[in-house]
Chains A and B, each alone.
Chain A
Amino acid sequence: MQVVLAFLIGGLFAIAIYLMLRRTVARVIIGLALLTNATNLLIFTVGGLTRAAPPLIPEGQDRPTTPIADSMPQSLILTAIVIGFGVLAFMMVLAFRTTQVVVEDDTDRMQATDALVPVEMTDLAEPYDEEEESHPHDPVPTPRAQGAT
């Protein structure tokens, strides 16, 4: 079981990193969601997998009588899920606002804060014209909007 989960976690991390290296913000967000889940699964797996031994103390006893599962990784994951959910929700709102303000979800075109001198948006690289990314409603690259709307 651990081996299967290890491969699953590794796969999830790989997909998450691949998605976060893409240029569209939407994929970065999906990547982050996968990264959070991969991390949670990792904590779960390295914390030790125990079958059918819930950490419950039998009635009348003051300590467990049989070996039980460690409940700590599960409480860590619960906390991490809550935090991850909140942060992911914030990230989605942020991305939505960004596409409204910047009129762009191509991260390569979000370089106004990196450049040494303020960049004219038209000077940047050619629009992203990878086959799958082209917008059917917008075949001709239009001049990108400048500044806040």
Chain B
Amino acid sequence: MANLLILPIILPFFAAALGLLWRTQRRLQRLLSLLGAAGIFATGIALISVVRQSGPLVLAVGGWPAPFGITLVADLLSAILVTLTGGIGLAVVVFSFSAIDAQRERFAYFPLLLILLMGVCGAFLTGDIFNLYVWFEVLLIASFVLLALGSERAQMEGAIKYVTINLISSMLFLVAVGLLYAEAGTLNMADLSQVIPQAPNPGLIAAIAALFLVAFGIKAAMFPLYFWLPAAYHTPPPVVSAVFAGLLTKVGVYALLRMFTLVFVGDVGYTHAIILTLAGVTMVVGVLGALAQSELRRILSFLIVSHIGFAVMGLGLYTPAGLSGAVFYIVEDMIVLTGLFLVAGIIDQVAPDDDLRNLGGFYAAAPLFGLLFLLPALSLAGVPPLSGFFAKLALLRASVAIGQYGIVAAAICTSVLTLLAVTRMWSEVFWKPNPRQEAIVLPRFGAQGLALWLPVIVLAGLVVVLGLAVGPAFGLASAAGQQLFDPSVYVRAVLGAGQ
């Protein structure tokens, strides 16, 4: 059963390798990437059900027992995130069938996408801090190439900034790992959580924690380290932005959640207060940036930043309710942002650019298309009964419960401003007449169009379903939050009952 854990890594790996071997066979590549993403999704669902029944699943890779070898661990959070990675991978692969040009496809677009998915799954599943660094590099190098593929001017400029800042963040991460190893003598996360409280030098541990916070903060695009994201995410084709928006920053948030619930919990009043403050500022600054922009994908890029703040806020609260809210928020955010970027991708198919001033008339052309934008957009702003409302509600209740009213104010302001930002997009792109005075011809539901519409419809539907079935969905997130708050289950599963 534990061998399930290796599947989300080797399935996309083999699919990517085969795809690279037959680089010119477009249909084979498409089939392989579909199978790879579907495999991750199916394994994720299996992982969730197994982990729910019998606790965290652990695989000692190569048979080396826990603190010595590399372990793969799936607790509920990892299982949920792997499932979502598969789901978003599927949506993006299907959308790419008709959104990605033949040129990019010949230059191994699909294998790169699979490598990216593999890196993301590896980062979610590993129980070893150095291995986490390796997975970060795997997903980063795939994202570098995906970002630069096409070599348009904006892409190259965006890529230079994105690559440089991410390499600096990786180096900080590596420095932190080296120092942590010197201090604790182990790299296994569960073992670290046992050793760190007895570390002789708490001051150095705090410094290492700060290094991790900066390194993951850059990856997650937290204030004040978010500037690279709006400069880079809007430059590749929208479908690439969609997979970045759905997955990449969330890996940073996941790493923060993992390290700051499992390892660095020695001085919660200090570290998590900093995290909470940063979360609040991230929210407000991100949404203000979104209001200042006038291009669709740039607005969405700033909204990514803003809503990273909510996920991190749950970590900053550091209560079971806060962590549960954070888990549910990450799930909701991944679906919503991927959906919105894919909507931008459909608009990109028919419009010359994505400047709000040159867009318009989409509601008159296709009212139901407007609905597909509005559902995830309103969920992002937190309008009931969509899933975003319940995610925000859970976080707000958790903050009120421990009297953190400052973050409540920031969250409510951000929600209102997000609503303003999305209604602005709605009125400019959909409601206003088309300034170009020509008919908008959206892709039809043919063989080509279906690949565009299906993922958007499914993601918008998920937003509604998660809102209506919030009971069971939040139950799962809340169980994951409990596991995060009390890592003893995780530690016992990894190190054996003796600990």
Interface residues of A (CB under 8 A from B): 20, 25, 28, 32, 35-36, 39, 42-43, 46-48, 72-73, 76, 79-80, 83, 86-87, 90-91, 94-95, 97-98, 101-102, 107, 110-114, 116-117, 147-148
B292 interface hit (Cβ, 8 Å): yes
Closest to A29 in B: B164
Closest to B164 in A: A28
Q: B153 contacts A73, CB within 8 Å? A: no
Question: Could you pull out 6 A-B pairs where Cβ atoms are within 8 angstroms?
Answer: A83-B137, A90-B163, A102-B156, A102-B157, A113-B154, A148-B152
Residue among B152, B160, B234, B293 making CB contact with A94, cutoff 8 Å = B160
Mask of B157-172 contacts with A, CB within 8 angstroms, 1/0? 1111101100110110
B384 interface hit (Cβ, 8 Å): no
Q: B137 contacts A87, CB within 8 Å? A: yes
Contacts of B148 in A (CB 8 A): 94, 97
Contacts of A91 in B (CB 8 A): 163-164, 167
Bound CA span A91–B294, Å: 31
Q: B174 contacts A101, CB within 8 Å? A: no
**Given A39-B178, A48-B182, A101-B151: A90 and B157 within 8 A (CB)?**
no
Contact residues of B: prevailing secondary structure: helix
Q: A97 contacts B294, CB within 8 Å? A: no
Mask of B464-497 contacts with A, CB within 8 angstroms, 1/0? 0000000000000000000000000000000000
In chain B between 286 and 330, which residues have their CB closer than 8 angstroms to a CB of chain A? Answer: 292-294
Bound CA span A117–B157, Å: 16
Contacts of A25 in B (CB 8 A): 160
Residue among B134, B157, B179 making CB contact with A98, cutoff 8 Å = B157
Residue among A72, A113, A147 making CB contact with B158, cutoff 8 Å = A113
Measured CB to CB, the closest approach of chain A to B485, in angstroms, equals 31
Q: A113 contacts B234, CB within 8 Å? A: yes
Q: A97 contacts B151, CB within 8 Å? A: yes
Bound CA span A39–B178, Å: 8
Bound CA span A80–B133, Å: 9
Contacts of A94 in B (CB 8 A): 144, 148, 156, 159-160, 163
Contacts of A102 in B (CB 8 A): 153, 156-157
Contacts of B153 in A (CB 8 A): 101-102, 112, 147-148
Q: B178 contacts A46, CB within 8 Å? A: yes
Closest to B174 in A: A39
Q: A98 contacts B160, CB within 8 Å? A: yes
Contacts of A101 in B (CB 8 A): 151-153, 156
B256 interface hit (Cβ, 8 Å): no
Measured CB to CB, the closest approach of chain A to B141, in angstroms, equals 6
11 extra interface residue pairs, beta carbon distance < 8 Å, beyond A91-B163, A113-B157: A35-B171, A73-B181, A83-B137, A87-B140, A90-B144, A97-B148, A101-B156, A102-B156, A113-B232, A116-B293, A148-B151
Most buried by A among B141, B157, B232, B234: B157
- B interface size (C-beta, 8 A): 40
B265 interface hit (Cβ, 8 Å): no
**Given A113-B158, A113-B234, A147-B153: A46 and B168 within 8 A (CB)?**
no
Bound CA span A90–B134, Å: 16
Bound CA span A80–B465, Å: 44
Measured CB to CB, the closest approach of chain A to B356, in angstroms, equals 12
Measured CB to CB, the closest approach of chain B to A91, in angstroms, equals 6
Residue among A46, A47, A112, A117 making CB contact with B154, cutoff 8 Å = A112
Bound CA span A47–B293, Å: 48
Residue among A46, A87, A114 making CB contact with B182, cutoff 8 Å = A46
B18 interface hit (Cβ, 8 Å): no
Measured CB to CB, the closest approach of chain A to B162, in angstroms, equals 10
Measured CB to CB, the closest approach of chain A to B101, in angstroms, equals 15
Closest to A91 in B: B163
Closest to A44 in B: B178
List of 7 A-B pairs having minimum Cβ-Cβ separation, nearest first: A43-B178, A46-B182, A98-B156, A110-B157, A113-B158, A113-B231, A101-B156
**Given A36-B171, A90-B144: A97 and B293 within 8 A (CB)?**
no
Contacts of B137 in A (CB 8 A): 83, 87
B343 interface hit (Cβ, 8 Å): no
Q: A113 contacts B178, CB within 8 Å? A: no
**Given A39-B174, A43-B174: A32 and B167 within 8 A (CB)?**
yes
Measured CB to CB, the closest approach of chain A to B296, in angstroms, equals 14
Bound CA span A128–B249, Å: 34
Q: B174 contacts A95, CB within 8 Å? A: no
Contacts of A95 in B (CB 8 A): 160
Q: B235 contacts A113, CB within 8 Å? A: yes
Closest to A147 in B: B153
Closest to B355 in A: A118
Q: B160 contacts A110, CB within 8 Å? A: yes
Measured CB to CB, the closest approach of chain A to B130, in angstroms, equals 6
Contacts of B130 in A (CB 8 A): 76, 79
In chain B between 117 and 161, which residues have their CB closer than 8 angstroms to a CB of chain A? Answer: 130, 134, 137, 140-141, 144-145, 148, 151-154, 156-161
